[in-house]
Amino acid sequence: MDVLQQIPFLHAISGLIMPIPAAFTAVVLIWATTPLAIQWSGRDVSFLFGLSSRMVIGLVILLALHLLLRKPIPLDSQAQRVYLAGGLGLFTAMTCVYWAAQYMPSGWISVIFGLTPIATGVMATIWLNEKTFTAAKLFGKILGITGLAIMLLNKGDYGVLAPLGIMLVLASVLSLSASTVWVKRLGADIDGMTVTTGSLLVATPLYLITWQIFDGHWPQSIPLLAAVAIVYLGVFGSVIGFVLYYYLLRRISAHQTVLITLITPVIALWLGHWLNNEIITPTVIVGTGLILLSLLSHEFGDSLLLKLIKTR
């Protein structure tokens, strides 16, 4: 019997059989809980230690899956370029997010990440010659920038370094968007699990080098909460989440993908409020609302305007 049939879970996450609704729901839940887990993984340990440990766990699991499933990792020149694009984007994006988590609420991270489709659209216009500067999309960009500005002006109870955290998350968004467009431009026919593995093969040594340079100390003790968060992020955040994301990226439309970034910020904000005592101020609600409206306008505004024109 085929090993994939013997282990249905591995069969599913390998991208061979996975119902789209199940994959979509899993990505939403993983992305919504990731910011909070990132904060918890840095409790009483260096955030660089938590980040590096997460990625090592994820890479070990993925390599073990490749061996178990007898799934080769392509190493031709095109595949190597895909891994480089994914790995550099992953390294920059996650480093900025973990750094930012020291200065801002976890829910804010997910809200600002909602700007990813807009940033990706701008870069797709530049790199892929896609037409994204319609009136509705431009309006969406303006709303997104306004919402981000409101978030920047609101320090809340998080002090003067909160704006630094916001800028770091924005840098993460730009890095991830550039990486996504770069991977799409390369156009390699590589499944999500392999892209994730190749990206981690590039990124993990960079994480370890960064940890060694700026920290390099093994913690004397790792609190249970931090340990659980690191393992969760290593298994779900670094493996299952990214595998399913790339899986969805190849199988559903951009309009459907953007729904993930519309749903996760709301869930993440309330999770941070309930589980981490994070304050949700009226300013945060307004900024979040504008960013979500910007996504709706950017992704669905053109089709809505077209329907209104046709009904007249």
Contact 33, 271 (CB under 8 A): yes
Instruction: Look at residue 15 and give its three-state secondary structure.
Output: coil
What is the average pLDDT across 276-285? 84
Model confidence at 9: pLDDT above 60: no
What is the average pLDDT across 75-101? 94
The pLDDT mean for the chain works out to: 83
Query: Which residue has 């790792």 as its token pair?
Result: 222
pTM of the model: 0.83
Task: Locate 70 and state its tokens.
Answer: 């007898």
Name the residue among 132, 127, 10 with its Cα closest to residue 66: 10
Determine the longest span between alpha carbons in the chain, in angstroms. Answer: 70
pLDDT interval class at 124 (50, 70, 90) = confident
- The model's pLDDT over 14-49, given as tens digits with 9 standing for 90+, comes to 444 567 888 888 898 999 999 999 999 988 899 999
**13-to-10, 37, 60, 187, 247 alpha-carbon distances in Å:** 5, 21, 16, 22, 9
Query: Which residue has 């190597």 as its token pair?
Result: 80
Residue 6 has what pLDDT?
A: 42
Q: Does residue 90 or residue 122 have the better pLDDT?
A: 90
Task: Locate 285 and state its tokens.
Answer: 């609600």
CB neighbourhood size of 26 (10 A): 21
- The model's pLDDT over 223-258, given as tens digits with 9 standing for 90+, comes to 999 999 999 999 998 888 877 877 787 777 666 676
Residue 115 has what pLDDT?
A: 84
The helix/strand count (H/E) of the chain reads as: 14, 0
Task: Locate 201 and state its tokens.
Answer: 């093969």
Name the residue among 84, 96, 54, 114 with its Cα closest to residue 198: 84
Give one DSSP letter per residue of 216-243, joined into a string.
----S---HHHHHHHHHIIIIIIIIHHH
- The model's pLDDT over 135-167, given as tens digits with 9 standing for 90+, comes to 777 787 788 888 888 877 765 556 667 888 989
135's CB contacts (< 8 A; 6+ apart) are: 301, 305
Rounded Cα gap, residues 260 and 31, in angstroms = 9
CB neighbourhood size of 47 (10 A): 21
Amino acid at 131: K
Residue 76 buriedness (CB in 10 A; 0-12 / 13-18 / 19+): exposed
Task: Locate 118 and state its tokens.
Answer: 């807009």
Rounded Cα gap, residues 170 and 108, in angstroms = 11
Residue 306 has what pLDDT?
A: 67
Residue 10 has what pLDDT?
A: 47
Task: Locate 304 and state its tokens.
Answer: 């809505």
Q: Does residue 3 or residue 70 have the better pLDDT?
A: 70
74's CB contacts (< 8 A; 6+ apart) are: 190, 194
